[in-house]
Structure 1
Amino acid sequence: MVDSTGLRTVLRVPGVPRLLTAQTFTVFGDTALILTLAVWAGNRTGNSSAASMTIFAFAAGVVLAPAAGGFVARRAPRRMMASANLAAAGVVLSLAAADRGPFWLVYPASMLYAFAGSISAGVLVGYLRELVPTPLRIPVNAEFQSLHQLLRLMSPVAGVWLLGAGGMAIVVLVVAGSLVLGAALIMLGPDVGVPVEPEPARRGRTGYRLLRSDPGLRGISLLVIAASAAQGFAQTLGFLVIEDSLHRTAGFIAVFVTIQSVAGVVGTRIGAIRRITRPVLLVRIGLLLTGCGYAVLLLPGLYPALTAFVLVGAGLPWIRIGYTSALQQHSTPGTAAGVALAGQSLQSLVQTTFIAAGALLGSYADWRVLATAMVIVLLAAAASSVRVGGRGS
């Protein structure tokens, strides 16, 4: 029996192959720049706080992106995505001024870059909603997530290598060029029209209001909030485990990140993920895998720690694919991009808040307290009776 949700079927959807190629260049730019910019900031100032602040500026840009939801909803998605890419490329080029001029320019540039990138990612969700037949949305979302996981593994290394080989100037040129090429490929894709809602219906229908008012979106968003909170704690937990349990240097975190990224790529290639038709089931399986991973982390020794991050890396993409699919199935053509922006912003806001909370709690409590709290939250969310009804539940 032929698998109607396999890669060959997905690639036969008009426009999807070109969009995947465009996203290869766009996501390469995104994932290469974030870590590279943080490394560059730390090297230039000699201050790790300066590096951390660039990450915070990126997070702030994502959180603010829903403010553009109304503007985005009234634009054709193909042109909006290309325009966001070109705007991001312009922001990247402005970093050349920060390389030789006032350093503080890097922070507003980082925020604007993340703002434009979030708009492109949010519009992509709405674009795929109109481009892809409903039965193939989860398989297509899985392919895009698989690409993202692969580039998340490779492009930060490429970015740091470029920084060492040619300095920030070469990083700026490569990332800006990648974004421009992505914009050009997007414009070669098929166009889809977005019905414009009447003005009275449009008022008050922001992404956040729709997340709250739709029972299906509200329920699945609560599950994703649990995952985002746990992942916020994870930013501190990894370093605490390395220091207090494994007794290794902080640089060992690169091993955990690599293992988690490889597991993420493999996790998105599992055939079962493409045959599940209920987004909430994908999210619950992802929560279960991630919760079990952090439970294994409580066992002493190196091998349980490595196994833990395999499970975590495999589970997180399932949550993202399920949530993206739910955002598409519970939205309309005129609201899909705005709802996606709000969903991304919500995840970023929760995760950033819990990064700070985890860092504070980690200063006073044993790492096992953090890990246990994460296990409880994740497994409770996976088994919860949170109602996720309505379309696509």
Structure 2
Amino acid sequence: MRELARHREFRLLLAAQTLSMFGDWTLLLVLGIWAKTLTGSSAVAGLTVFAMAAPGVLAPLAGVVVDRLPRRSVLLGVNLVGVVVVSSLWLVHDRRQLWLLFAVAAWYGIASIVTNAATSGLVQSMLPAELLGPANGALSTVRQGLRLLGPLVGAGLFAAAGGRWVATLDATAFVLAAVVLLRLRHREQRRDSTAGRGEVLAGLVHLWRTTALRRVARSTLVFSGSVGLVEATVYALVDDGLHRPAEFVGVLVSVQGGGAIAGGVAVSLLVSRVDEARLVAVGMALVAVGAGAGAVASLPVVLTGFLLVGAGLPVLAVGAATTLQRRTPNAVMGRVATGYEMVSSVPTTASIAVGALLVGVLPFQVVLVVTAVGCASAAVLMVVGGEAGSHDPAVASPDRDGGSASCVRAR
């Protein structure tokens, strides 16, 4: 970690992402709280998460953009456009403008896909291979750890002054992030892109043809198709199970952030010594146990469950991201990252929609148990799903020369 801290460019990137993600976390939770305040419906609140996940079907197209443009410029553009988008929430006065909340949520879904892919490629191009795991660990720790502060600030500001001032805080964070990104001196060399229809699908093709990546993607399909159920259930858990106001979701998400800090620090130390596939399986298993704990509907048990979910997410994310980076040439890193995003987000989107329906007809405990079983199954598949005798050559160092990647034959 000390060697990573000496890299000026990564420090600036981490600072910019910290500012941007802080703004994100103050508003993302508030969108659901705002929707429930306007409508009184937990299902409608859960559908804000669905709106964030829905753009995942466009992920391969976003990957082409990320691989064709300078990635620093992509990140700058996302932050500056975000200022305009979140500022539109000043137009929300009552439930007639509910559609604006969903529109902003959908923008967040698009921005997340583009930002994650651009960041992954930028990190891969600026750091040696041995620092990719610790770098992913640092980014994931910040991303998840901000759940400690962001949701509390957002929910508190929403209760005190309303959602429009939360949007203003988010816009300010975007502006500051853009200022930091302007200080980045790292310049990627020009990358050649494959042409034709295969360019869009190159990321998915690489995921399928690379054994280690196919294994991660297959388990992620099962995990994502299960974990989305809990997104639409959390408001029912707070309302019907814990008998707390909707703003209490902010407390649960902040507890999850505490677990994420612990998980992020742990995985940063372990990623260089533990097989990445095991990290992915451990992360999925922790989320499974945490989701099952939520079904008990006892405050201490629920808090412990959210702590475990928080710890599991960065372990899973770092294991998967490092696997992708170590087995993908930089020229197609954006398309592979967004291909994996599609594998993750499309099942999540479908399961969020299903969860929003189920929570209206089934006890939330049943939905959480189903989530736990699905996540546990994904962890088992990750452990036993390897293909004997198959070994993928790792990309020993990032492809910094901008040459075409040999893996693209057909993101």
Find the aligned partners of 2:319 and 2:179 in 1 and give their Cα distance: 29
Q: Is the 8 A contact 1:291 1:375 kept in 2?
A: yes
How far did residue 30 of structure 1 move?
1.6
Question: Counterpart amino acid of 1:195?
Answer: R
Candidates 158, 164, 167, aligned match of 1:169: 164
Residues 208 and 339, structure 1, Cα contact 8 Å, conserved in 2:
yes
The structure-2 alpha-carbon separation of the partners of 1:72 and 1:99, relative to structure 1 and needing over 3 Å to count, comes to farther
Shift of 1:182: 0.7
Name which of 34, 43, 47 aligns with 2:37.
43
Which of 127, 131, 150 aligns to 1:132? It is 127
Deviations 1:125-181 (A, max 9, x none): 111111111001001100000001121221122122223333333223221121121
In structure 1, what is the equivalent of residue 116 of structure 2? 121
Deviations 1:265-309 (A, max 9, x none): 111112642433642232122234334555677889765555444
Task: Name the structure 2 match of 1:328.
Answer: 325
Structure 1 stretches lacking a partner, 5+ long: 1-5
Mapping of residues 262-301 of structure 1, within 5 Å: 262-270=258-266, 272-276=269-273, 278-293=275-290
Whether the aligned pair in 2 keeps the contact of 1:211 and 1:339 (CA below 8 Å) is: yes
Moved more, 123-132 or 206-215: 206-215
3-state SS in 2 of match to 1:181: helix
For the residues of structure 1 that align with 2:151 and 2:237, how far apart are their CA atoms? 23
Q: CA deviation at 1:99?
A: 4.6
1: distance between equivalents of 2:391 and 2:25?
A: 35
Decide whether the 8 Å contact of 2:280 with 2:320 is kept in 1: yes
CA contact (8 A) 1:276 1:282 kept: no
Q: Which residue of 1 aligns with 2:400?
A: none
Could you tell me which of 86, 89, 99 is aligned with 2:80?
86
Identity among equivalent positions (%) equals 27
Supply the AA of the counterpart residue of 2:341.
Answer: Q
Equivalent of residue 212 in structure 1, options 208, 212, 223: 208
Residues 190-201 of structure 1 correspond to what in structure 2 (within 5 A)? 190-199=186-195
Q: Report the equivalent of 1:381.
A: 381
Q: Do the aligned partners of 2:60 and 2:201 also contact (CA within 8 Å) in 1?
A: no
Partner SS state of residue 335, structure 1: helix
> Across the two proteins, how many residue pairs are aligned to each other?
385
Contact 1:88 1:117 survives alignment (8 Å): no
Query: Which string of whole-angstrom CA distances, capped at 9 and with x for unpartnered residues, describes residues 87-122 of structure 1?
Result: 122211223234589613333333234313321222
Structure 2 residue aligned with 1:390: 392
Partner of 2:183: 188
Compute the displacement of 1:313 (Å): 2.5
CA contact (8 A) 2:46 2:356 kept: no
Cα 1:57–1:70 shift into 2, 3 Å: same
Secondary structure at 1:188 match in 2: coil
Residue type of the alignment partner of 2:47: M
Alpha-carbon distance in structure 2 between the residues aligned to 1:83 and 1:352: 26
Letter in 2 for 1:107: F
The 1:162/1:230 distance shift into structure 2, 3 A limit, reads: same
C-alpha distance 186-53 of structure 1, shift in aligned 2 (>3 A)? same
Structure 2 unmatched ranges of 5 or more: 396-411
Alignment of structure 1 residues 343-354 onto 2, 5 Å: 343-354=340-351
The answer to whether the Cα contact below 8 Å between 1:78 and 1:186 also exists between their aligned partners in 2 is yes
8 Å contact kept, 1:59–1:352: yes
In 1, Cα distance between equivalents of 2:160 and 2:356: 34
| Secondary structure of 2:143's aligned partner | helix
Shift of 1:221: 1.0
Structure 1 window deviating more from structure 2 (104-113 vs 122-131): it is 104-113
- Tell me the distance in 2 between the aligned counterparts of 1:163 and 1:300: 26
1:27 to 15, 21, 24: 21
**Contact persistence 1:296–1:307 (CA under 8 A):** yes
- Point out the more displaced range, 298-307 or 126-135: 298-307
Give the alignment's TM-score, normalised by structure 2.
0.81
In the alignment, residue 79 of structure 2 is paired with which amino acid?
Answer: N
Counterpart amino acid of residue 262 in structure 1: G
Q: For the structure 1 residues 329 and 192, does the alpha-carbon distance in structure 2 shift closer, same or farther, using more than 3 Å as the test?
A: same
Q: Decide whether aligned partners of structure 1 residues 268 and 188 sit closer, same or farther in structure 2, where only a CA change above 3 A counts.
A: same
Partner of 1:3: none
Structure-1 residue corresponding to 2:217: 221
Q: Secondary structure at the match of 1:15?
A: helix
* Aligned residue type for 2:384: S
Residue matched to 2:399? none
Per the TM alignment, residue 234 of structure 1 is displaced from its structure 2 partner at its CA by 3.3
1:287–1:382 CA contact under 8 A, matched in 2: no
